[in-house]
Structures are given as structure tokens and as C-alpha cells.
Amino acid sequence: MGYFKSSEQLQEVLGNFFQKLAQHPEIGPKLLAAKVIVKFSYREPDLTITINCSGPQAQITFNDAETKPEVEMGMKADTAHKFWFGKVNLVAIIARNQTCL
């Protein structure tokens, strides 16, 4: 059994996490300065999270098929959980040409 039992739980956990990052006094302004739209596509359970930092404040949406991201990252939800806890190095995985999906 994975860390997340449902897409709803994944949305609640990571949605709140990304919202806190966007509101953080040091991280939030850096996200907005990047002016980038990033989409995280998760599976097992399935959910997409789009973080749009192209406007005056970060907008976080779920399963948004309309907004075109400039950067998209896809992985299993369990891999994301490990990544955000510092237990997996995605750069090393990409450098070794391994898949995150």
C-alpha cells in the first residue's frame, strides 16, 4: 500500500504543501520571480497539480487541462512523497537515465 490512499488525500496533502510554499516569506517571492508554470503529474493515485507563478500571486489548480505548463514532471505519488522528504534524488535518477514514472 502506498502513502496516499486516494487522489483526494494526495490533493489535500500536496495541495496544502504547495500552498504553504507559495505563502512562505522567502520561498513565495522566489517562485513568483521565476514567472513559470509547473505541472506535477502524479499516478497511483492519479492527480495533476499545476502551480502558475506567471501572475501577481501563485495559483494552484488540480487536474487543470487548460493551463499549458512550461515545465512538467511526472512520477508516482510515492516517489513524490520520498522526494519532498529528501529520500530520493531526482537529478541523479535523470542523470542515470532512469525513469521516475
Q: Does residue 15 form part of some domain?
A: yes
Q: Does residue 64 form part of some domain?
A: yes
- Tell me how many domains the chain contains: 1
* Across 35-62, average pLDDT: 97
Residues 55-88 have pLDDT tens digits of 999 999 999 999 999 999 988 999 889 888 989 8
Instruction: List the domain range (segments joined by +) for residue 46.
Output: 7-95
Q: Does residue 100 form part of some domain?
A: no
Element (H or E) spanning 78, and its range?
helix 77-84
Q: Does residue 61 form part of some domain?
A: yes
pLDDT of residue 66: 97
CATH value at residue 68? 3.30.1050.10
Q: Does residue 42 form part of some domain?
A: yes
From the list 100, 93, 96, 52, the residue with the least C-alpha distance to 78 is: 100
From the list 41, 77, 81, 45, the residue with the least C-alpha distance to 62 is: 41
Q: How confident is the model at residue 99 (pLDDT cuts 50, 70, 90)?
A: low
Inform me whether the pLDDT recorded for 8 exceeds 80: yes
Q: 27-34 and 7-23 helices cross at what angle (nearest 10)?
A: 100
Inform me whether the pLDDT recorded for 53 exceeds 70: yes
C-alpha cell belonging to residue 71: 515545465
Q: Does residue 2 form part of some domain?
A: no
Q: Does residue 40 form part of some domain?
A: yes
Residues 9-40 have pLDDT tens digits of 999 999 999 999 999 999 999 999 999 999 99
Inform me whether the pLDDT recorded for 100 exceeds 80: no
